[in-house]
């Protein structure tokens, strides 16, 4: 990600690259000292964890970090939904990254960006997936990963899953 310049122009480049390949694309925004001892992994949907798993396994093998998983639910999620998501995340962690030091949080967040920013204060790097929104959807609803990249003053690694943009059919 560029430190300065036009973020929309950079996003168009990423969209073109992602549309033309069959593998995930990783975009990194460097800021400050690059350390990987404390990793924050915010996510909205459980399937994102499987997409991020190869990167997290590689990081766990090379740096032996502490990884915090932050599942961000809709702000009006019930206590039962929070508990069910917590159980699901515990199950995923028991199957994956079981030999890595992890912790997990499930938050019914009023502002997902603010929650990530507050939690990221205690981490060296943020690793997350990019939204699957393109064109007008992205313009109206935004991209959480792009907002995180613009707002945080620490390294952010964003995984863009492969595939064609929805509006390029």
Q: pTM for this structure?
A: 0.83
DSSP secondary structure letter of residue 155? -
- The packing angle between helices 144-151 and 112-120, to 10°, is 40
Q: What is the pLDDT of residues 93-128, one digit of tens each?
A: 999 998 999 999 999 999 999 999 999 999 999 999
Strands 25-29 and 38-43: unpaired
């Amino acid at each position: 990600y560029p430190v300065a310049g036009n973020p929309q122009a950079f996003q168009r480049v990423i969209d073109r690259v992602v549309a033309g390949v069959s593998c995930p694309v990783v975009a990194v925004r460097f800021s400050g000292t690059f350390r990987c001892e404390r990793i924050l992994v915010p996510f909205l949907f459980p399937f994102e964890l499987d997409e991020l798993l190869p990167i997290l396994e590689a990081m766990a093998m090379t740096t032996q970090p502490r990884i915090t998983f932050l599942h961000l639910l809709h702000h009006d999620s019930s206590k039962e939904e929070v508990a069910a998501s917590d159980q699901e995340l515990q199950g995923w962690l028991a199957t994956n990254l079981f030999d890595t030091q992890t912790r997990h949080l499930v938050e019914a967040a009023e502002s997902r960006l603010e929650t990530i920013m507050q939690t990221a204060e205690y981490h060296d790097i943020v690793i997350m997936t990019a939204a699957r929104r393109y064109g007008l959807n992205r313009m109206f609803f935004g991209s959480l990963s792009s907002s995180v990249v613009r707002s945080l003053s620490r390294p952010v690694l964003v995984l863009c899953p492969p595939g064609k943009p929805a509006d390029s059919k």
